[in-house]
Amino acid sequence: MTHTYAIPRLLVAAPQGRSGKTTITVGLIAALTARGLKVQPFKKGPDFIDPSWLTKVAACTCRNLDSYLMTREAIRATFIRHARQADLAVIEGAMGLFDGVDLQGSGSAAEIAKIVQAPVLLVINCTRMTRSVAAMVNGFANFDPQVKIGGVILNQVARSRHEKMLRAAVAEYCDVPVLGIMPKGTRFVIPDRHLGLIPAGENETLMEAVKQIGQAAENYLDIDGILQLARQWAPLREEREIPAAVGINWQKPAELPRDQQGPRIGVIRDRSFSFYYPENLEALVEAGANLVQLSALEDPELPDIDGLYIGGGFPEVLAAELERNQSFRQHLKQMIEKGLPVYAECGGLMYLGRRIHWEDKSYEMVGALPLDVEMLKKPQGHGYMHLEVLPGTPYFPEGKVIKGHEFHNSRVIDLPKDLAGSGCQFAFRVQRGHGIDGEYDGLRYKNVLALYNHIHAVAEPDWARHFVKLARSWRSRHYQDR
């Protein structure tokens, strides 16, 4: 039986990075939601920061679509599952439209557009450009016949004369409509830092920039034309029915039920640790876990939990606040020594070490792992990873090659040469990427696994099941103490 899903949709892309895709996407979603439409945002690739903004603006959790980590079937299922109830699905691309990991464009935004059959809204930075814009539009429109350039947004337009020349050139030489412009001006720029844009949840005052962008989008973009483009696309057809996503009922530490079925897994979600794929959290729930939201900045200690998940983020930016919460750090270290299962990614790895060194200052962290972390100005690991699982590593079978990605300006220092003597072991051998030292990633200590690599549960579904199994085992051993 064929199932049909009529989903208005489009993908926002550009000829290259830093063209204004995120600004236009944020503005477009803000303008659409202001009209009362429900927008489901998606982000191409393994990004965490841009999705935080898209989630904030749409008031709907942004999802990642990554054709390097996820199969074609998984991408379509993810897209349909979360977009089917929306009025419109908006996908933000990454880098240039056709830029991928190889000459064939594998992993590109164009590949996502083909998989979900979405038209492309092309954002062009028109700084110091007039008639040449037509050559650029035609080049992108004719490069791949399976990719439809449905409209163009002219970004960074200097003045009315500049706009007239750009519009005239596209109208004369191209069979692609101009669906709006965005004037040049720093007031429409979302601020950034060393790993990209500042996460949306870190500073609420930055939402003023979003309001300005949304108003500019309503004023300068052809919202009706963009809606028409998204709505005229053919429905998606699948041979199987795509089930709805599982919901997460977040529990608070002070309100945990005494007799609760299933293990409790704490998740540190605060301003310092905010990089989580929503599918990872949902996978834990589907595997039987109850999720408890924690803060390493404000909670005095760990509550009654059976496992702990620490994602990535910017612990270096909040290092002074993390250091001040000494009681939480000490209690976490005590629980780790008792064997509490802990899974920590990137920023979580940094937090579990002894210290973070940044900008000529040092900050005390948990101290469960025998290492310090030094922040540098340039990325120390950036891109997709392939890791071979070493013996004894939980979550994955020995010899399996798992995929993920890393993006960090930190590096591990002062790791003891006699690693086994410290009670630690490496968990993975790096086949692609950098990890901890270019050869290995992941440290195992008791029931802790801390690594730079970020996995996606859609690509690695066994991870959640094994995590919950470890938490369940801990729960059964310590239940009598509760």
Residue 173: φ, ψ to 5°: -115, -10
DSSP category for residue 244: P
C-alpha to C-alpha distance for 470 and 284, rounded to whole angstroms:
12
- 3-state SS class at 104: coil
What angle, rounded to 10 degrees, do the helices at 278-286 and 462-478 form?
Answer: 50
Q: Which residues of 356-378 are buried (b: 16+ CB within 10 A; e: fewer)?
A: bbbeeeebebbbbbbbbbbbeee
Q: Is there a catalytic annotation at residue 346?
A: yes
Whose structure tokens read 């579990």? 352
DSSP label at residue 93: -
Sign of the dihedral through C-alpha 149, 152, 153, 156: positive
Residue 379 C-beta-side C-alpha neighbours within 13 Å: 15
User: Among residues 60, 126, 346, 424, which one is catalytic?
Assistant: 346
Determine the Cα–Cα distance for residues 70 and 55; give it in Å rounded to an integer. 21
Beta carbons of 166 and 130 less than 8 angstroms apart: yes
For residue 183, what are the β-bridge partners? 157
Active site residues: 346
